[in-house]
Amino acid sequence: MSYSDAIVQRAETLSQSALVNGITPLAGRVLLAAIFLLSGISKISDPAGTIGYINIVGLPFPPLSYGAAVVTEIVGSIALILGFQTRIVAMVLALFSVATALTFHSDLSDLNQFIHFFKNIAMAGGLLQVVAFGAGRYSLDAHR
């Protein structure tokens, strides 16, 4: 057996292990959810500032938009961590990420906005992986 065959065989074994099928999806969900949870908490700590920013970008009903964003981020992140209705929650958060990128980070000539725009797009990509492959072994979805 060649060295490259051994690497391929080891990778195939690893891909069927409890680590890859259990812990890795859980870790991925926690890492994806962290930014939403922290963002939701940040919005709760400064509602006036957040509502003002929503008003500046021209969204209708800034207080309602604020409430919807907080609920989406807090409830969505907790559901994602727990692996509850994971595919639906991940799709909602992916759509939220793209909408946020287009609404709040669309000035791509500003480097900060450019980075935030593509961070949101990358998060949506990770969330779409969760939509495609599910929550994994350690989730409420797997125990139902």
96 closest CA partner among 115, 109, 77: 77
Q: What is the pLDDT of residue 5?
A: 77
Q: Say if residue 19 is exposed, middle or buried (CB neighbours under 10 Å; 0-12, 13-18, 19+).
A: exposed
Please check whether residue 76 is in contact with residue 39, taking contact to mean a CB–CB distance below 8 angstroms. Answer: no
Looking at the predicted structure, is the pLDDT value of residue 10 above 90? no
Average pLDDT over residues 36-61: 96
Q: Say if residue 9 is exposed, middle or buried (CB neighbours under 10 Å; 0-12, 13-18, 19+).
A: exposed
Q: What is the pLDDT of residue 16?
A: 72
What would the pLDDT profile of 24-34 be if each residue is shown by its tens digit? 999 999 999 99
Average pLDDT over residues 30-40: 98
Tell me the whole-structure pTM to 2 decimals.
0.88
Looking at the predicted structure, is the pLDDT value of residue 1 above 70? no
The count of other CB atoms within 10 Å of the CB of residue 131 is 16
What would the pLDDT profile of 110-136 be if each residue is shown by its tens digit? 999 999 999 999 999 999 999 999 999
